[in-house]
């Protein structure tokens, strides 16, 4: 059985929401552009349509995008990218060893104002381990961004597993991982070009 390990990695929630928003806008940009163009065109006849366009752009559309980001940002799959994790790729699927942070206070620190005010006393952070297996048939396609490889899921929509390029030891490690993924989901589902960025140097990895 082919088996590839990827060292501990994560992305921030801000990065996750940004990638989610980009995926949503890529699919639905026309639904936002069409009423704007229509209102701007009608403003030639009636200037009030210009104010409608402004309201749509800065109020209605912003509220919709806000709720989209919140809705897709709280799906359980989001933690696959935002929690610290070790990753194992094999023929059966993707195994994630998630590390969920748990903050513990010492007995004398609980419910005391003094312990909160003392900056030198910090709560102990421990991790609960959870293992999650993602089968290959859940993966819709593999895309690349400037900083991460994104394995998108069929469901929930706009959800994905982000693996930062820094999690790979080198370019060979990345290529070997792509070869295994390709053999499991098919090469036509992998982006032809993934941007490999490491130590502030970037170039294109063609696959």
> Over 70: is that where the pLDDT of 177 sits?
yes
Distance of alpha carbon 80 from alpha carbon 173, whole angstroms: 21
3-state helix, strand, coil in the chain (%, to 5): 45, 35, 25
Per the structure block, which two tokens stand in for 104? 């513990």
Its pTM surpasses 0.85:
no
Percent of the chain with pLDDT over 90: 57
pLDDT band (50, 70, 90) for residue 87? very high
pLDDT band (50, 70, 90) for residue 202? very low
95, 3 Cβ separation under 8 angstroms: no
Query: If you ran DSSP here, which 8-state letter would residue 147 be given?
Result: S
> Over 60: is that where the pLDDT of 168 sits?
yes
CA geometry: angle 160, 22, 37, nearest 5 deg? 145
Nearest to 7 by CA among 190, 178, 165: 165
Distance of alpha carbon 52 from alpha carbon 79, whole angstroms: 39
């Amino acid at each position: 059985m082919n088996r590839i390990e990827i060292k501990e990695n994560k992305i921030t929630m801000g990065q996750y929401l940004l990638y989610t928003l980009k995926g949503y806008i890529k699919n639905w940009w026309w639904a936002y552009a069409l009423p704007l163009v229509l209102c701007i065109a009608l403003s030639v006849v009636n200037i009030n349509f210009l104010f409608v366009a402004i309201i749509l752009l800065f109020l209605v559309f912003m509220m919709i995008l806000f709720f989209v980001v919140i809705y897709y940002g709280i799906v359980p799959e989001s933690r696959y990218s935002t929690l610290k994790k070790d990753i194992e790729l094999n023929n059966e699927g993707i195994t994630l060893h998630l590390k969920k942070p748990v903050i513990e206070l010492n007995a004398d620190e609980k419910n005391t104002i003094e312990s909160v005010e003392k900056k030198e006393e910090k709560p102990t952070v421990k991790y609960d381990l959870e293992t999650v297996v993602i089968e290959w048939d859940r993966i819709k396609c593999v895309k690349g961004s400037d900083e991460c490889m994104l394995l998108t899921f069929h469901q929930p929509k706009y959800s994905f597993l982000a693996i930062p390029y820094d999690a790979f030891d080198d370019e060979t490690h990345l290529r070997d991982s792509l070869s295994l993924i390709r053999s499991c989901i098919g090469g036509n589902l992998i982006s032809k070009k993934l941007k490999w960025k490491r130590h502030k140097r970037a170039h294109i990895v063609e696959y």
